[in-house]
Amino acid sequence: MKIELGNKVAVVTGGSGQLGRVICRSLAACGAAVAVHYQNNQSKADEVVADIVRTGGRAIAVKADITLAADVNRMRGEIEQSLGAASIVVTAAVIQYQWTSVLQQSLEDYESQFRSCVLHNVVMAQAFVPGMIAGKWGRIIGINTECAMQCAPAQSAYVSGKRAMDGVLRTLAREIGEHGITVNQIAPGWMISDKYRGTAEERQPDYESRVPLRRRGYDQDVANAVAFLASPLAEFISGVYLPVCGGNVMPAI
């Protein structure tokens, strides 16, 4: 059994980021042409594109503010012109900010998380889903977080944005499923990515002691889940919030 995404076009928001870059390479390895989105880190996006092209794949770097409909629509046009219509959308971009308590967190931080978790997914859906409906096939995969189930101190802005994102995507799954389009979410734990790999911070004993598998996962674990949900193997899976965190959070029935 093999994951085959040949003749598919994927767009990964935050494709230059820690998890996004590995997701892009993995989708390309499965045969998809990939649009690597970035907002500020063009050099890393170009590096990811070069990696994909070097191994025989097709990819472009695309810049956009993913909270603005006009920017996303322009990006869609660039992707269609260079690669074709995208039928796989992975929303991995998020605005970074300094975490603190509810009493100290600025209102601007809550607004930023609403824009990058909710509006981001709304404008991407509005831009790309009509093409999926026309093609009668599509995949939307949102990158959520285990934090959405933990609600730990200092996480309020992030958690509020991600839990609202969950509501948008579950509703979308019901609205567009009849067109052969699945909508799912992946919820990573505190993964080991380029930021931590090979550094003293790679091991986090306190965190690892709470994970049933007693270790941190890797960026590739998230990318593997994305590739599966994007593939024909997952054609009857929709509306899922899938933790990729070694069992650190477990959705209840």
To the query of whether residue 158 is one of the catalytic residues in this protein, the response is yes
Q: Which two tokens stand for residue 178?
A: 């009849």
Q: Which residues contact 184 (CB under 8 A, 6 or more apart)?
A: 139, 140, 141, 142, 169, 173, 229, 234, 237, 238, 239, 240, 241, 242
Could you say which of 38, 97, 110, 158 is catalytic? 158
Contacts (Cβ under 8 Å, ≥6 apart) of 59? 24, 28, 33, 34, 35, 36, 48, 49, 52, 53
Helix/strand/coil percent split, the chain, to 5: 45, 15, 40
Where residue 216 falls (left for φ over 0; alpha for ψ -120 to 50; beta otherwise) is beta
The torsion angles phi and psi of 243, rounded to 5 degrees, stand at: -70, 135
Catalytic residues: 158
